[in-house]
Structure 1
Amino acid sequence: MVVRATGDAEKPSVAEFYAGKSVFITGGTGFLGKVFIEKLLYSCPDIAKVFMLIREKKGLSISERMNQFLDDPLFNRLKDKRSTDLKKIVLIPGDISVPGLGISREIENILLETVSVIIHSAATVKLNEPLPTAWKINVEGTRSVVALSKRMKRIEVFIHISTAYTNTNRKVVEEILYPPPADINEVYQLLEDGITEEDTERLLNGRPNTYTFTKSFSEHVVAENQVRVPTIIVRPSIVGSVKDHPIKGWLNNWFGATGLSVFTARGMNRVLYGRSSNVVDLIPADYVANLVIAAGAKSGNEKSSELKVYNCCSSSCNQITLGTVMAKFTEDAVNQPSSDMLLPGWYVFTRYKWMMTVWTILLQVIPAYLADTYRILTRKNPRYVKLQSLVAQTQTALRFFTFNSWVMKADRVRELFASLSPADKDIFPCDPISIDWNEYIKDYCCGVRQFLEKRK
């Protein structure tokens, strides 16, 4: 049962909005998706069901897939305190890249009759996916989810998870919908005719990759739906580990800032493309989940027809620089040694591509070959050249973001948080100004050791 704090009678709580309602979520098996689901179940105890779209796997039954999904420390507090609530998760076999999401007619009818809230989080996370593939998943997949929502009888709010980097052509990004990066008809024509790499490069027109390009178009697909149902676009920036709940430091992948920061701190990467003074827009995963859930409740309660865009970002009110992030990860690497690399944390910044290439060869590639030669001579398996290949991929994928710096306005996020009741502010913290970066990155580094490297 949802209990409202004394003095909050005039403000319906977030949990009260979700009481008795069912949520349909795509991308639920991903990093953010897991945090969304755990938070919904734990902090909205009277929620009815969480329907989760999931691709079928040969050789695994639905129950086996469920056990696999829940076999994560993230769900421990639910298992310990309210394990029966985990039965509210209902797996929906389907595929975001298939027309109609690949959902059976029987299951579709259940969704049409019961779902009140959609959280559309599914997307390809490969930054440089070929455009036809990225378009099929990020744009056409979104179109399929929107089409399904239009037929839902109880739908109250549609929440789309985008990215803060859909508008990298602007140094200051407001919480508004900007024009798409290209003519959508031209994109469709090129995709139909057989798009080439040259076509893709021309369409991107300075955008860093197909991920940000297609996510920009997906925002417009979602915006077309606002006349029928309250619609929200949430744009997270670089999502880091969990800050507070359910587990400080929890994360389950090396994507985003994690891989580059750890590689650099431990001496596997020695060259950073950009300036140390560039702003890194980090945001904890639980702050994204808290914002999504609270924004959904607020919009659903107000029944507003306005498209609301929330930049879930820190750069406009609580900045941290690239140099500071690397220094804090380096401090942890020195205090908690985990590799045999010499001089961990020794690295240089440059804004010249030719110099980056030279420094990478001198400081990373040549030492890697020398180290592997030594390992072979001492009858050990070589490892450093292969590791350098992974470092190079990470450098290439992220150098646009380390080279540039943006200010992502988050005024609407902060206004939303300020409007919450005192009780909900404790349960759903999402104001980026409250992040203590020293404490957060310390927990972040602990999370890397515990959850990615499996070290105590």
Structure 2
Amino acid sequence: MYFVYMFICLQDKIIDRAAIIESQHVNRVVEACKGRTIFITGGTGFMGKVLVEKLLRTCIGIKRIYLLVRLKKGKQPDERLREMFKGVLFEKVKKLNGPDIVKKVVVIPGDVSLPNLGISSENRKILAEEVELVYHCAATIRFDETLKKAVLLNTRGTKYMLELAKEMKDLLVFVYVSTAYCHLNERVLYEKSYPPPANPHYIIKAVEWMDEEIVTSITDKLLGNCPNTYAFTKALAESLVDEQMDKLPVIIVRPSIVIPIWKEPVPGWTDNINGPTGLLIGAGKGIIRSMYCNSKGYADYLPVDVAVNGIIITSWDYIGFKKRRYYNLTSSGEIKVSWQQVIELGRRIVETKMPLNGVVWYPGGSMKKSKIMHLICVALFHYLPAAVIDFFICLSGNKPVLWRIQKRISKGFEVFEYYANNQWDFNNDDSLKARHLMNEKEKEDFKVDGKGLDLDEYFTHCVHATRLYILNEPDDTLPSARRHMLMMWGLDRLCKFILLLGLGYVTFYFIIAPLLGITL
């Protein structure tokens, strides 16, 4: 009997070990999504598109994805969705899972900025009956947005979404996508709630009945120490979600600065020129020559595919374990990239590997610690060349463009300088705990760490994708772009030589010659 008992115990251990080994090859996130219905706002935005693509490609067992889409520029929601699926971002998922996979995505016409989200009573009932997971990504990310519009979209829109969530009978999790940069008075942001900069309910009521001109006139007073309407309204929205922690299965995720795709499905892909991409284009075209910035400082960047993986993993973590409610999706705890490194990497790539077409001057310039020196350089190297070039453009019978571009760049610098000359750090201990719960298969399918990141390769992909998908500069234009860059290099060196020669002559004529008693 003893040997029989030992044999049974040994057999149980073998079975347990086999089960453990097998579990390492099962993606529990994918399994948890099978048969689920998901509702996404902001699904036509940068991060939203990548989220939809990832769910369709990896979680193929999903029953349906409802997407809130508004009328935009005369285009109906269904038309906008069809155009979105024609993009290069969705080529891989259609190739892997078949072109009909996109039929799982169903449009819900509406607008987050409208009362009750602009959703019809029929569609509201459908969402209440069917939806189990909600990803609320919709927001205006313009830092210079008017306060009224930002409140109605970012804050009141979140309030309406929470009200809709209360009607959902089978809701498992409501994921609010916030930002790591919305509590800017905190030099270290922890994964917890923070008091809002104002009462969100009062602010919503105030902007609803005030005219936009009145709201704009008191914006600075309402913002207080908050530098822009984006951070202000996102912090207000967080507090609305915080209020529902005991009533709804809500979680808050805080991605940092979201940048182009790192790995999948299209390395380097982006659909906008916000943030670092805009700086990259401006510097690569030779338009940006000076930045007021602490070169040794760093920002927290997160490739959008890593951010989306994190958003999906955190929802799975809450559904399965219900231990965490706040997640900082940040990277600087593992990888710190200084502004100087960003500029040097970008410059080297656009100068040698991936030059942009039609550069107006050879990429150069530098970061300035002195605000006065920066303003002098902006006048000399931004506005003065823009005025000269625009003058010749006018002579050729075309409309001037560079002066207008420089004004837009200067406006963007106002936002950039605040973030570039201040430093924040982020604690993401709880997010790391969720990461440690993942098995090897899940870590492979939903990569949320920076292991294997090659910055040079990543930036090259970013510039290449920017050429292709933002600037519409195909690869067959690279040879001519390289020739043009070489010509600009020669012109840049020639102008610098002439300038130095002139400075040398003036110095000798007015300073050295009189001191030596030489008469010229």
Regarding TM over 0.5, the answer is: yes
Q: Tell me whether 20-29 or 220-229 shows the greater mean CA deviation.
A: 220-229
How big is the shift at 1:60? 4.7
Change (3 A) 1:199 1:446: same
Q: Does residue 402 of the first structure (1) align with residue 420 of the second (2)? A: yes
The structure with the largest alpha-carbon Rg is 2
Report how far residue 340 of structure 1 moved.
4.6
SS at match of 1:150: helix
Offset at residue 102 of structure 1 (A): 1.2
1:63 positional shift: 4.5
Bigger RCO (CA 8 Å, 6+ sep): 1
Shift of 1:450: 1.6
Query: 1:278/1:118 Cα in 2 relative to 1: closer, same or farther (>3 Å)?
Result: same
Per mean C-alpha deviation after superposition, the further-off stretch among 20-29 and 165-174 is 165-174
The C-alpha deviation readout for 1:275-304, integer Å capped at 9, x for no partner, is 1111021110001110111111121122x2
Aligned equivalent of 2:445:
427
Indicate if the aligned counterparts of 1:114 and 1:154 stay in contact, CA closer than 8 A: yes
Select which of 271, 291, 316 maps to 2:290: 271
Aligned CA-pair RMSD: 2.3
Which whole-Å deviations, capped at 9, do the CAs of 1:227-255 have from their partners, x for residues lacking one?
23332211111111111111111111101
Structure 2 residue matching 1:75: 3-state secondary structure: helix
Aligned partner letter, 1:300: I
2:252 match: secondary structure: strand
Task: Name which of 324, 327, 330 aligns with 1:310.
Answer: 327
| 8 A contact 2:200–2:240 mirrored in 1 | no
Q: Displacement, 1:170?
A: 1.9
Matches within 5 A, 1:206-217: 206-217=225-236
Instruction: With the length of structure 1 as denominator, give the TM-score of the two structures.
Output: 0.93
The structural deviation recorded for 1:193 is 5.5
User: How far did 1:273 drift?
Assistant: 1.7
**TM-score (normalised: structure 2):** 0.82
Residue 208 (structure 1) shift: 1.6
Match of 1:199 in 2: 218
Q: Which residue of 2 aligns with 1:66?
A: 81
Change in Cα spacing, 1:12 to 1:327, as seen in structure 2 (3 Å) is: closer
Shift of 1:393: 2.7
Which segment drifts farther, 253-262 or 113-122?
Answer: 253-262
Deviation at 1:171, TM superposition (A): 1.7
241-250 or 76-85: bigger deviation: 76-85
1:366 shift after superposition:
0.3
Deviations 1:391-429 (A, max 9, x none): 223222322112222112232333222211110100001
Q: 1:133 to 1:381 in 2, by over 3 A?
A: closer
Structure 1 unmatched ranges of 5 or more: none
The answer to whether structure 1 residue 30 and structure 2 residue 49 are counterparts is no
Tell me the residue number matched to 2:68: 53
Matched residue type, 2:344 = A
Amino acid at match of 1:23: I
For residues 67 and 185 of structure 1, do their structure 2 counterparts lie closer, same or farther at Cα, with a shift above 3 Å needed? closer
Alignment of 1:217-228 (within 5 A): 217-228=236-247
Report SS of the residue matched to 1:279: coil
Matched, 1:358 2:373: no
Deviation at 1:178, TM superposition (A): 1.2
The residue type paired with residue 330 of structure 1 is R
Q: Please tell me whether the aligned partners of residues 69 and 109 of structure 2 are also in contact (alpha carbons under 8 angstroms).
A: yes
Structure 1, residues 296-347: CA drift from partner, whole Å, max 9, x if none?
1121122x2x562211111222100111111111111111332454653312
Instruction: Give CA-to-partner distance per residue, 1:142-198, whole Å, 9 cap, x none.
Output: 000110001101100010111111111122111221111234466357535565546
Q: Which moved more, 1:216-225 or 1:85-94?
A: 216-225
How big is the shift at 1:382?
Answer: 3.5
Q: Secondary structure at the match of 2:381?
A: helix
Q: Does 1:176 align with 2:192?
A: yes
Amino acid at match of 2:228: N
Kept in 1: contact 2:140–2:154 (CA 8 A): yes
Per-residue deviation, 1:75: 0.4
1:450 alignment partner, one of 456, 462, 468? 468
Aligned residues: 451
Partner of 1:332: 349
Contact 2:287/2:360, CA 8 A, preserved across alignment:
no
Residues 190 and 53 of structure 1: is their aligned pair in 2 closer, same or farther, counting only changes over 3 Å? closer
Picking from 170, 183, 190, the partner of 1:154 is 170
d(CA) in 2 for partners of 1:93, 1:31: 19
CA distance in 1, matches of 2:45, 2:101: 20
- The letter for the 2-side match of 1:356 is H
| Residue identity in the other structure for 1:334 | E
CA distance in 2, matches of 1:189, 1:222: 18
Task: Report if aligned partners of 2:257, 2:301 keep a CA contact under 8 Å in 1.
Answer: yes
Percent identical residues:
31
2:311 corresponding residue in structure 1: 292
Structure 2 contact 39–65 (Cα < 8 Å) conserved: yes
Q: Is the 8 A contact 2:35 2:63 kept in 1?
A: yes
1:237–1:282 Cα contact (<8 Å) kept: yes
Matched, 1:437 2:463: no
Instruction: Report the residue type matching 2:288 in the other structure.
Output: N
